[in-house]
Structure 1
Amino acid sequence: MDVFTIAESGDGPYGITTGPDGGLWCTLVHAGAVARIAPDGTATRFPLTGDGPALITTGHDGALWFTLMRAGAVGRVTTAGAVSLTRVPDAQGLYGIAAAPDGAIWYTSMRPDQVGRLAPDGTATVVPMPAGSMPSMLTVGADGALWCTLNQAGAVARVTPDGAVTVVALPTPDAAPVGITTGTDGAVWFVEIAAGQVGRVTPDGTVTEFPLPDRAGRPHAITADPAGGCWFTEWAGNRVGHITPDGGVTLYDLPVPDAEPHGIAVAADGTVWTALETGAVARLTRR
């Protein structure tokens, strides 16, 4: 595993995604910037006028989209580095983000508890979530619905394109789910940071939970592996892990201590990239 320093230790590399230009794009949550990381680990930084960039995704327009936690806005950066912000009404604590096939961008808001939809023309509409549930990360499911974790409700929610909400309670109380992704098996996978588990939910709401070897590892983010299964980070365990569709887990220790791994992404060549909040990104090459 290779580690590349891309920022100061206090800048906070956090969310990461693969870009359409062959690079990795990462938010610097404490520095008010996004960065592009080339396959060789070279980073280019793009400063923002908004504060607290959190999660980032690639839109269907070929640009990168991200949330700004403390600015109440959704940001967009082109692969050439042109940045624009769209403020959304009555929302703070924006966190999760996902691109829908219709060109819309969905985001979560923690204050108030809701998910929002930003249309291509910039119009924002919101769907309320249960009060106090803290909607966190998002994914577009294979069923065409939007799925998000409800961190403080111990649940995941399914939102149809017309705004109908179904809340699926998790079997483990107070599991505090955070990261969520759509697997190649058509199910939605998520991590439970407080329970030390990975979960899987099918479109009909059937939930299966897989305990991790280190229940105190605090899994944070998860992304689908195109080759099958999912990759995830363990923030407290200082590891990245892979889980197979039947629940088999392989863990990989990071080569630097207390790195605080957060976001995770799989590049087109199959390498796995992880954002380390202490100022770096890690690259895992599978042999």
Structure 2
Amino acid sequence: MNGEVWTTLVHAGVVARLSGERYDAGERPSVIVPGPDGAVWFTRSGDNRIGRIGLSASSFEVPGSPYGICAGPDDALWFTLMDTDQVGRITVDGAVTTYPIGTSGAFPAMIAATADDLWFTLNQGNAIGRMTTAGDVTTYSLPTEAAGPVGISAGADAVWFAEILADQAGRITQGGKIEEFALPTGSKPHAVVATANGGCWITLWGAGAVCRLDAAGNVIEQVALGEGSEPHGLAVDVDGSVWVALEKGSVAHIQPGE
């Protein structure tokens, strides 16, 4: 955001930017995104709050344990509540509304926005959910049983997601058609970011690497990040380079090959 790279330090309870500043962020700051108000917003899964860092730091209580968060199509932030089977909406002024996803024990994880809807993974429900800004939900079951979907990202013509238990990447169209693509065995894909050319980047948590898929689902590049790196968070910069948050306590910056 504004040329800055931000990351959460989950175990330290800190949000940091690479220019050097560190901010106390409560218990287990998890997913962080730029908001429509010019601030950065993040979930605090350890103390049931949504945090914001802008001109000043603040946080807002929510009725459950939040994890995924994204800027929605309506100038608000949308987030998942893992333990209550809900998706929440918070305005930049801190007003919170929640909507049931209609599935018990589904464990909604990451969430992404298109121009009209919100899309989210149901990690234990083995499905992809779609919600309108009015709270209406459609659920799409995955072809592979017990796939464990986690990361999700909206592209130009489809939504990409990661199946951590099936070692697969998935893609779902606006019409609900799902395709799955094999990744290396034991790679445990976690986070995903769609790219402008119709493909995506995806972290391979179990393999200590990231890889790039083209629009047809082919792996066209894989970058090793070292033993014990455990890549989690992922972002693609405006110049096409890739930033990866590593469990070992560092951030990797990748200039993709041609």
TM-score with structure 1 setting the length:
0.86
| Offset at residue 227 of structure 1 (A) | 4.3
1:187 maps onto 2:194 in alignment: no
1:151 maps onto 2:123 in alignment: yes
* Residue among 235, 247, 253 paired with 1:283: 253
Structure 1 residue aligned with 2:34:
58
1:121 to 1:83, Cα distance in 2 relative to 1, 3 A: closer
**Count of paired positions:** 256
Tell me, in whole angstroms, the C-alpha distance in 2 between the residues paired with 1:37 and 1:250. Answer: 29
| Offset at residue 126 of structure 1 (A) | 0.9
Structure 1 unaligned runs (5+)? 1-18
Tell me, in whole angstroms, the C-alpha distance in 1 between the residues paired with 2:82 and 2:256. Answer: 37
Paired AA for residue 133 in structure 1: A
- Aligned-pair Cα RMSD in Å: 1.3
| Offset at residue 251 of structure 1 (A) | 4.1
Paired AA for residue 191 in structure 1: A
1:74 maps onto 2:50 in alignment: yes
Paired AA for residue 142 in structure 2: L
Contact 1:141–1:187, Cα closer than 8 Å, also in 2: no
Structure 1 residue aligned with 2:82:
110
* Residue among 140, 163, 167 paired with 2:113: 140
TM-score with structure 2 setting the length:
0.95
Secondary structure at 1:236 match in 2: helix
| Offset at residue 219 of structure 1 (A) | 0.2
- C-alpha distance after superposition, 1:104-146 (max 9, x if no partner): 111111121111011233221111121100000000024x110
Contact 1:60–1:101, Cα closer than 8 Å, also in 2: no
Contact 2:148–2:166, Cα closer than 8 Å, also in 1: yes
Tell me, in whole angstroms, the C-alpha distance in 2 between the residues paired with 1:200 and 1:155. Answer: 12
Contact 1:113–1:134, Cα closer than 8 Å, also in 2: yes
Paired AA for residue 253 in structure 1: V
1:84 maps onto 2:58 in alignment: yes
- My pick for the range that moved more, 194-203 or 254-263, is 254-263
Structure 2 unaligned runs (5+)? none
- C-alpha distance after superposition, 1:47-92 (max 9, x if no partner): 22x21100011111111110000111101112x6x3110112x21x
Tell me, in whole angstroms, the C-alpha distance in 1 between the residues paired with 2:125 and 2:214. Answer: 27
- My pick for the range that moved more, 189-198 or 115-124, is 115-124
1:166 maps onto 2:138 in alignment: yes
Contact 2:73–2:117, Cα closer than 8 Å, also in 1: no
- My pick for the range that moved more, 251-260 or 66-75, is 251-260
Structure 2 residue aligned with 1:37:
18
Secondary structure at 2:21 match in 1: strand
1:176 to 1:86, Cα distance in 2 relative to 1, 3 A: same
Tell me, in whole angstroms, the C-alpha distance in 2 between the residues paired with 1:206 and 1:153. Answer: 18
Tell me, in whole angstroms, the C-alpha distance in 2 between the residues paired with 1:57 and 1:245. Answer: 25
- Percent identity of paired positions between Structure 1 and Structure 2: 45
Tell me, in whole angstroms, the C-alpha distance in 2 between the residues paired with 1:178 and 1:203. Answer: 19
1:47 maps onto 2:24 in alignment: yes
Structure 1 residue aligned with 2:150:
178
| Offset at residue 270 of structure 1 (A) | 1.6
Secondary structure at 2:124 match in 1: helix
| Offset at residue 208 of structure 1 (A) | 0.7
